[in-house]
Amino acid sequence: MTKKSAIAFAILCLFIASISASPICGRERLWQNRTQQVHSIGTPSAKWITSSTTNCDAEFYYDTSDVQERITQHFHIYYVIEGIHATKKAFVDSLATALEKAWNFYIQELGYKKPKAAPITWHYRKEPAPNRFPIEIADINSIRDNASLFGGFCGECIAVTFSPSSEPDESEIIIENDFFFAGINSPQKNETDSYCTFYKADNPMQNEVTGIDYTVHFGKLIRATAFHEFYHTLQFIYLPPTDKRDTYWYEASATAQEEIGAPDVNDYWSQLPLFFNATEKPFHELSSDYGLAVWELYNESIYGNPIGKHFWERFAKNPDASFEEIFAEEMQYREIDPDSSFNDFAERLLFSGPRASFSDSTKLITDDAFRWPFQPKILSPSTESVSLTPPAIAYYRITTDSIPHLDAFQGKASIALYGKTQTPIFYSLDTITLANILPQIEKSENAVLILSRLREQTSQKPIVDSLPMRNYPNPWRGETPLCFAHLPQDKTFIEIRTRTGKLVGQFRYSGEQLCLEAETLREKLAPGLYYFRAGNKNKAKPFLVVY
């Protein structure tokens, strides 16, 4: 395979992967194409597809003299009822109602600034009525000049909010016309009596988790989409997007707001694994931003719904700031420690999904967190040094024999102990050391180390003391390496002796941990009780060999 064909194949695989997931917002696709960045594979030069999905001008695919209009109190909706962009009256009715509800919620109840309407719409080329915001309903994968927007296909895009003009704070929303979408394997058709081709939208949009087919139950997705996309138009007033500026908070907060506005839809559930399975990664390196909606849902639940508006007002004053800085400013204004708030978010998030059954319902991160089919990943026990690139959180399962080194860790750290008969008990390592709670860890059914790091500049560090020297696994069954952790740095070797004091051997080490291979040790250690110590004068500790 040539280099050129390999790149083309990689792009094709990326696109196919992109259309196998649940419905998504087109804003992120548009930004990725314009900046030639595809986060999920980290290839700056890659694009989704490099050519248009249609081969004729947009006007060939709809009757320009028969574009329908629906004017509501605040919106001007354009649509057609024939051709590849056709929609149904019930679809338009549902959308009009949902948009007005979103307007009333954001503008009337919460006091957001009104969006700035684009003077001419992108696809149908219409001028909206005065004081009306433009909405177009069309097949997104076949809209006008889709190559310049998405590089061709948008994939399973429900809608896209963007500026069709030269002013980045002006915007419009294009809504998918029937929630069917075209994929790379969809048949290519000819428009009636012409050579103009298009890809037939034959794939129904579905929620992989809830199983809802949105082509049938379109009202649910319309309501969630109206709250999500209209929120983008408000974001653009405070922080107009540019090719050089993007923040994960665009999608994270809009996804949270769709859940607040349409809480029965739960479309965001399908996006949670992309965050939960990579919690140790910094948020700006995640393959998708949607799952971070849970942070905004936490903020709205703990601090009240207007906090979302306060974040964007701060962005307006400081457009080059990261969201972590914006969040910290808001917390400090409220006289709340930002790092402690972020760690509280991490603690509550741990007990969500199936793991929520261990927790008090008043401690849940959202009202429906117990219904999530997913839960954050807990990493395997480790005795290695750990660190986080902010903003990030991580969870490590720990035992008295396997506790990560925190000497160089920057951020907040806490321990959660829980079990079937024990609701979670949290210990902050700001005020207590790991050595102090080793007895509780040993007795607990589950013990998890919770790490969080909000910002680069924070100097917050957990209290670190000298943990007792440990060996693991104990008992050792002769199948895996036998390791020794928290070894003192003023010694250079450990001794292993029998229960009668006979020396089995001295084993040198240079770091804080030593692992001895099973094959070597089986020749030296018969089943029984042994003792080890660092150097040849310290108190020895017992361990069992059983095989």
Residue 46: pLDDT over 50: no
In angstroms, the CA 15 to CA 125 distance is 29
Buried b / exposed e over 224-241, threshold 16 CB at 10 Å, is bbbbbbbbbbbbbbbbbb
76 vs 511, which has greater pLDDT? 76
In angstroms, the CA 122 to CA 31 distance is 16
Considering only 123-137, 179-193, 422-436, 488-502, which range has the smallest mean pLDDT?
A: 179-193
Q: pLDDT for 324-342, tens place per residue? A: 999 999 999 999 999 999 9
111: which residues sit within 8 A by CB, 6+ positions away?
306, 309
What CATH number labels 470-545?
2.60.40.3080
Residue 382: pLDDT over 90: no
Q: pLDDT for 404-414, tens place per residue? A: 888 789 999 99
What is the value of pTM for the model shown? 0.82
CA distances from 263 to 64, 273, 291, 526 (A): 38, 19, 16, 62
**What pLDDT is attached to residue 301?**
94
In angstroms, the CA 393 to CA 396 distance is 10
User: Quick one: what percent of the chain has pLDDT higher than 90?
Assistant: 66
Residue 257: pLDDT over 50: yes
Q: Count how many residues are written for the chain.
A: 547
In angstroms, the CA 241 to CA 119 distance is 18
6: which residues sit within 8 A by CB, 6+ positions away?
none
User: Across all residues in the chain, what is the average pLDDT?
Assistant: 89
Confidence of residue 291 (pLDDT cuts 50, 70, 90): very high
**What pLDDT is attached to residue 20?**
40
**Any idea which residue has 């992967």 for tokens?**
17
Residue 34: pLDDT over 80: no
Q: Is 72 exposed, middle or buried (0-12, 13-18, 19+ CB in 10 A)?
A: middle
Q: pLDDT for 157-207, tens place per residue? A: 999 999 998 899 999 999 999 999 997 788 888 876 678 999 999 999 999
In angstroms, the CA 435 to CA 422 distance is 21
- Domain ranges for the chain, please list them: 3-241, 370-453, 470-545
